[in-house]
Structure 1
Amino acid sequence: MSTTGGVMTVRLPIRTSDDVPVDTPRIPAREAAERELSKPMYHENDPSLLQRALDRFWDWVGGLFDSASGAAPGGPLGLVVIVLLVIGLVAALWWRLGTPRRTPGSADSLFDDSPRSASEHRAAAEDHAAAGRWNQAVQERMRAIVRALEERALLDPRPGRTADEAAAEAGRSLPGHADGLRASAREFDDVTYGGRTADRQAYLRLRDLDLELERAKPQLSDAAQGAGQ
């Protein structure tokens, strides 16, 4: 390497036929080296763009874990224990509270646009149960329960009524079955809106409640009892 006229040059191991070293300026030499190194033959084993992105992501996760481990009591083991406790707490709350309840404004109607009698809903429920379609069987049996209460004038027929509303209203005239009605409405909501899967036992509970309600006598209000005396 030498300096000539204020310009730094790089001496490359290139010789002329007269065995005289050739001096190449620094900038052209660097550009020549960059062109040489940019050839594909030098990058055949380079990681792909996806691999580089994944490597950065896992480096970030590792750094985050290391930071959390340093702050958690007991280091990495303590952090693992804390994470497991949080997961267990969330699972316990989900199991205890069930599917988050829908707000009344977003609830869907219990019945569709083609009204059917209670006996028709019962027949549909039995057909679904015989085929092992427990979700549909539960839905149809709940509709049969509510339709039967409407046919007995224990509920006023009202478009847009939800399973929860029907259970609450029917529970006032049939207080002995209020808990069963609420549980059945919750079962209906879980399989219809909550993404849960019903089973044979769930269907049998609704069927038994339906049969019990057929024999149940409504509790008259105090005003109605006074008028009858």
Structure 2
Amino acid sequence: MSGAPLRPFILWAPLEPPVTPDREEARRWATEELSKPQYPDARPSWLDQMWRDFLDWLTSLEGDGTGPGNTFGVPLIIALAVILIVVAIVVVRPRLNVRRKTSAADIYGDDSRVDADGYRKRAAVAADDGDWAAAVVEQFRAIVRSAEERDVIDARAGRTADEAAEELGRVFGGAQVLLDRVAHLFDAVRYGDQAASKAEFEATRQLDSDLQAMAPDYAGQTHEGFRVPR
């Protein structure tokens, strides 16, 4: 049997071009993303203003974004929408996580059964390891737990570091400034991942020692003798 050689039969189909959303579609994508519940609660005011300005700018554009004169405008709109979403995720989500973490736990965290001496031992162990951040956290917990054990303040769950400093300052008036400093340091270390120094730990431990030696003054009189860290 003769004839021309058979050529391989190749199946092929034209590839569909990628779909490029128009201006309204890009706007809808961005609106749906930023309308999620986690964003409005934590959105900074400047980001909110940026978003409103961006929507106003989209509205002010002429045409439907599909004409030949808008081949540059559509990709630009999409790029700006994507950038805005990324900024919202990068800026807002960490703040939201920190807020949730701060509100979900009190001073003692998950284990609130440790006594003051137990927290002091934990602080000493952390200090021996050079973990000054953990040492500061445990030493501040010892301060608050010691005050609860002495019935200087009531033992209650959910107390924040600032609240503890304020309550202790009412009966240890001369230590109010130091209590506020240590409370802010506690929050910065525990919730803000801030590093601590040996000097800051020593100041916190010294404050604990001074408060143990001081009788509470429920009449509101201030005490002298608290050392201000340098």
Taking structure 1 as the reference length, the TM-score comes to 0.50
Encode CA deviations 1:118-167: one digit per residue, 9 max, x unaligned.
00000000000000011100000000000000011111000111111100
> How far off is 1:108 after superposition?
3.2
CA distance in 2, matches of 1:132, 1:106: 29
Tell me the residue number matched to 2:32. none
Query: Given that residues 161 and 187 in structure 2 are in contact (C-alpha distance below 8 angstroms), is that contact kept between their aligned partners in structure 1?
Result: yes
- AA in 1 matched with 2:149: E
> How far off is 1:217 after superposition?
1.3
- AA in 1 matched with 2:205: R
Say which SS state the counterpart of residue 217 (structure 2) adopts: coil
Q: Which has the larger radius of gyration?
A: 1
Q: Does 1:203 align with 2:208?
A: no
Tell me the residue number matched to 1:74. none
Tell me the residue number matched to 2:224. none
> Sequence identity, in percent?
39
Tell me the residue number matched to 2:175. 177
Count of paired positions: 123
Encode CA deviations 1:17-52: one digit per residue, 9 max, x unaligned.
xxxxxxxxxxxxxxxxxxxxxxxxxxxxxxxxxxxx
Runs of 4+ in 1 over 2 A off after TM superposition: 105-108
CA distance in 2, matches of 1:166, 1:125: 19
Among candidates 146, 149, 154, match of residue 147 of structure 2 = 149
> How far off is 1:193 after superposition?
1.0
Among candidates 212, 217, 220, match of residue 218 of structure 2 = 220
CA RMSD of aligned residues (A): 2.3
> How far off is 1:107 after superposition?
6.5
Alignment gaps of 5+ in structure 2: 1-75, 77-97, 221-230
Tell me the residue number matched to 1:106. 103
More strand by share: 1
- AA in 2 matched with 1:221: A
Taking structure 2 as the reference length, the TM-score comes to 0.50
- AA in 1 matched with 2:138: E
The structure showing larger relative contact order (alpha-carbon pairs under 8 Å, at least 6 residues apart) is: 2
> How far off is 1:113 after superposition?
3.1
Say which SS state the counterpart of residue 210 (structure 1) adopts: helix
